Structure 1
């Protein structure tokens, strides 16, 4: 049996054109959408508001994921991995880092909107670009800290197999099973925060009419929170639960998780155009 497994590893997996086509489509959509979004954010919104800071970093996270997709397309189209094990580790970590950083930045956006709608006056001193930059800096640091031991562990694990198996391994992976927990715990925690934010904002908009009357485009405000929850439930939660329960990430769930890089630009358009362009100016400090 061991001999048969080793032979399979040396031969590499069979080409899977469906996965190649899927990742190619995500790349074709995600690259221009996020590149244009980042350009708009930096050119027209700069880093003067916390919302712009969070969205710029979210777009950067998505672009890092998108630039790793061509090699996934090649791998599934040919069934071979032409690069080194280190390159496989790098691309795998870019995917994992995107899940973690995106879940954090999306949660930051929800918390920022919660403060703006529910506590508009008391949160003015908190909702500053400086504090937002500190928050995203801490977020990237957390992602990096989680990344380092996982990168080392994954590199050692990868040495046990032929490099042509880069994205597909046996179901049993005892060497790295202890390292799968940080991501599910992070995603589930961020999901809980988003649910709380959505509930509080919805309650405020429907019950405190005198306060919520000052919020323009209430439907678009709620769409922001709904889209955040959709991204968690569709893109992040299935993969995280699979890691938590089985210790593995099945290829279909990995495909599903990459869809978030195409959905995030919709969040920018709804948020900046429909809400902050009309109200954020009032939130900026006056000279």
Structure 2
């Protein structure tokens, strides 16, 4: 394969795949998270600690998707026209809210673990105080994790176009390598280990303890499983491929062109995949409790329609049995 074909692999992905993917994430995430926040604010008061974490998670996802239009315009045109400050701000916001989501999901897994393992402390854990403390800690830690990125993100002028480089493409590569490893280890893999241990503890407790089918414990298991799925499906590929992207750039002289382009293309695919956690989070709000589900249905009068449909089905079944 010649050099020109080699370099076209990731350019096509960046030009066509990213704008479409980010546009879909923006539309679904904006509508879903605005709806979720409105339901929590208007229909689910007073809040418990888990509700406070959920609202902050929805707010984090909302801020995350609000950066999408800038990226859609940039990747569809190939030229960044908003200046250095906006480039740094958008990239910072993208990662800040991504790692905020990671930490909020970890908090939810820990809270569910406490509910199952220490049921006598469930009422204490659900107090607003603990939700406020957890959310304040998450915002602070996420800001501390991503703050160095403000000085690392840079613009690049090439072929009469200005490019807002993503974190893994920042020049020079050595400036981001160790920070990238540190962010991956502490910002993702450490929370992943915590979530996995919570899942193992919940499964073991439900396997041996009484009342394993109680609604509270079933919800705790479902929520923890969903969080683990988000970590593995959405966040894991992104972090692994980001490390590979940085390492391939660092050893570009010893890396075949095609291999380098394929690694970059895979990394490009993983970025919207990480953003799909906003879709899973919308499901998480429903699984977290029946109150949100009922409030959601009542908001759009679906509860009335479902009740009416169920009544019609029962009548039809009774008539069919009588006719038989």
TM-score by length of 2: 0.73
Q: Superposed, which structure 2 residues align to 1:105-184 within 5 Å?
A: 105-154=104-153, 158-159=154-155, 161=157, 164-167=162-165, 169=169, 173-184=173-184
Specify the alignment match of 2:3 in structure 1.
Answer: none
The residue matched to 1:202 in structure 2 has which SS?
helix
CA contact (8 A) 2:156 2:165 kept: no
Q: Partners in 2 of 1:171 and 1:86 — Cα distance?
A: 17
Deviations 1:120-145 (A, max 9, x none): 10353344211210111011111112
- How far does the alpha carbon of each residue in 1:60-99 deviate from its partner, in whole angstroms, 9 at most, with x for none? 1100111000111111211111211211111111111122
- CA drift of 1:33 comes to 0.5
Give the 3-state SS of the residue equivalent to 1:82 in structure 2: coil
Give the structure 2 partner of residue 188 of structure 1. Answer: 189
Deviations, residues 179-210 of structure 1 (Å, cap 9, x unaligned): 213431221111111111111112222221x2
What do residues 100-122 of structure 1 show as CA deviations (whole Å, max 9, x unaligned)?
Answer: 11111001111111111221103
After TM superposition, give the deviation of residue 265 of structure 1 in Å: 1.0
How many residues are paired up?
261
**1:30 paired residue number:** 29
Query: If each structure's helix is expressed as a fraction of its own residues, which one has the higher value?
Result: 2
| 1:247 aligned onto 2:246 | yes
Task: Give the aligned partner of residue 57 of structure 1.
Answer: 56
Any idea what SS the aligned residue of 1:165 has? strand
1:30 and 1:275, CA in 2 relative to 1: closer, same or farther beyond 3 A? Answer: closer
- Aligned mates of 1:254, 1:38 — CA distance in 2: 25
Contact 1:217/1:275 (8 A) holds in 2: no
Name the residue aligned to 2:322: none
Question: Where does residue 86 of structure 1 map in the other structure?
Answer: 85
SS of the equivalent of 1:89 reads helix
CA displacement at 1:274 relative to structure 2: 7.2
Instruction: Report the secondary structure of 1:124's partner residue.
Output: helix
Residue 47 of structure 1 contacts residue 129 of structure 1 at CA under 8 Å; is this kept in 2? no
Larger Rg: 2
Residues 59-68 or 245-254, more deviating:
245-254
CA drift at 1:44: 2.2
> Per-residue deviation at 1:276?
10
- Give CA-to-partner distance per residue, 1:22-81, whole Å, 9 cap, x none: 111111111101110111112222462111011111001100111000111111211111
Contact 1:239/1:253, CA 8 A, preserved across alignment: yes
Provide the TM-score with structure 1 as the length reference: 0.82
Partner Cα separation in structure 2 for residue 211 and residue 75 of structure 1: 54
Q: Relative to 1, partners in 2 of residues 1:23 and 1:196: Cα closer, same or farther, differing over 3 Å?
A: same
